[in-house]
């Protein structure tokens, strides 16, 4: 497999976002992502806090999903929504009763957000779609310019203005052919970062001024300035970089203080990062592939985590049969609560 190196991926991302913003700000020039500049940024990114709190997750749903993802807390209904991408399912899980209901989608569903009408906007293999309600009709909206035979939507989330941001994944992983797309409430689609392999870790800070994004094979999380009025990210810079053997950044969530909780797939953990990338806490997950997380519960201080069974051998699955389950940890009171997920405004 051929992936972009860290400087190549960062330069391409910076150049792509600079083109979409078209503001002429010299901070956004791809030249600012020289190897020397990246080395300085990398020294700052992911610095350790003086002490790192360690917590352990427990199993709350033995779902055995092939690729659990995009877990979201519904504060109104006090329930969890999540998907199994490879089995084409949207799930509704009540953590109090333990009930988990399933809707068959008919194709890979990478991400979704609730809308204001009791339904969902979703990123599928074929493109964007509306789901009228859980168990209701699926209305395909068509897709941006992508090749569904080799590319599908992966991570996604709404900003606070109700725009749906969703990134694609280039499944052959031989070139950086994915992109980050924005679907406006009026149905307009536009690309804002091109040249990625696997889009992940899309979050927005509570004040709406910052956006995070990861291209997982680059082992890096970026943060950028976010112009909420225009829906434009700019000035991307790394806040955490991972050694390949330590895992890759996957799905993420933000708390009320702007900290980012990120799943480290093939790293058996969730990391809590400060807004500037300092490692504040680790949640150990007893399976290899945590994929996404959300802060839920009545006080939004329970961290729920999806996991997967991908790339595990039969022996590994026999030893870790609860891989693909949903896990949780109750956070101590000094942790900030989660934010209420924005809904699609279309």
H-type alpha helices, 5-158:
6-21, 35-44
Other residues' Cβ atoms within 10 Å of the Cβ of residue 256: 14
Bridge partner list, 90: 83, 103
**Cα-flanking dihedrals φ and ψ of residue 262, to 5°?**
-125, 135
Helix (H, G, I), strand (E, B) or coil at 119: coil
For residues 242 and 248, the answer to whether their CB atoms sit within 8 Å is yes
Both tokens assigned to 341: 């997920």
C-alpha–C-alpha distance, residues 74 and 294, integer Å: 10
3-state SS, residue 9? helix
Q: How many CA atoms lie within 13 A of 186 on its CB side?
A: 2
Tokens of 227: 């112009």
For residue 275, what are the CA distances in angstroms to 14, 279, 303?
19, 10, 18
Contact 41, 237 (CB under 8 A): yes
- CA atoms 79, 85, 86, 87: torsion sign: positive
Measured torsion, CA atoms of residues 90, 331, 262, 336, in degrees rounded to the nearest 10 = 110
**Rounded CA separation 144/158 (Å):** 17
The values of phi and psi at residue 246, to 5°, are -95, -5
d(CA 236, CA 285): 30
25 part of the active site: no
Strands 48-56 and 279-284: parallel
**Longest CA pairwise span in the chain (Å):** 55
Active site residue: 84, 159, 250, 255, which one? Answer: 250
Please list the active-site residues.
250
């Amino acid at each position: 497999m051929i992936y972009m190196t860290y400087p190549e991926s960062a330069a391409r991302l910076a150049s792509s976002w600079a083109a979409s913003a078209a503001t002429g700000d010299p901070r956004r020039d791809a030249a600012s992502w020289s190897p020397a500049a990246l080395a300085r940024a990398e020294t700052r990114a992911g610095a350790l806090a003086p002490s790192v709190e360690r917590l352990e997750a427990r199993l709350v749903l033995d779902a055995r999903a092939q690729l659990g993802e995009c877990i979201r807390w519904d504060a109104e209904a006090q329930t969890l929504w999540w998907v199994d991408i490879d089995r084409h399912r949207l799930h509704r899980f009540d953590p109090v009763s333990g009930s988990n209901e399933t809707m068959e989608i008919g194709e890979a569903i990478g991400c979704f957000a609730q809308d204001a009408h009791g339904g969902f906007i979703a990123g599928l293999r074929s493109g964007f779609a509306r789901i009228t309600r859980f168990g209701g009709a699926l209305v395909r909206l068509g897709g941006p310019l992508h090749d569904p035979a080799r590319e599908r939507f992966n991570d996604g989330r709404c900003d606070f203005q109700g725009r749906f941001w969703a990134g694609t994944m280039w499944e052959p992983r031989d070139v950086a052919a994915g992109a980050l797309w924005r679907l406006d409430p009026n149905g307009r689609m536009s690309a804002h970062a091109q040249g990625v392999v696997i889009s992940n870790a899309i979050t927005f800070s509570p004040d709406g001024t910052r956006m995070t994004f990861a291209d997982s094979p680059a082992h890096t999380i970026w943060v950028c300035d976010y112009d909420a009025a225009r829906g434009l990210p700019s000035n991307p810079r790394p806040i955490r970089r991972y050694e390949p053997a330590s895992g890759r950044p996957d799905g993420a969530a933000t708390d009320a203080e702007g900290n980012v909780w990120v799943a480290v797939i093939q790293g058996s953990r969730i990391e809590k990062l400060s807004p500037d990338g300092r490692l504040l806490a680790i949640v150990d997950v007893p399976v290899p592939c945590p994929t996404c997380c959300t802060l839920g519960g009545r006080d939004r201080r329970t961290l729920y985590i999806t996991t997967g069974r991908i790339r595990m051998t039969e022996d590994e699955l026999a030893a870790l049969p609860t891989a693909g389950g949903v896990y949780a940890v109750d956070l101590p009171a000094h942790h900030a609560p989660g934010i209420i997920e924005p809904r699609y405004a279309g």
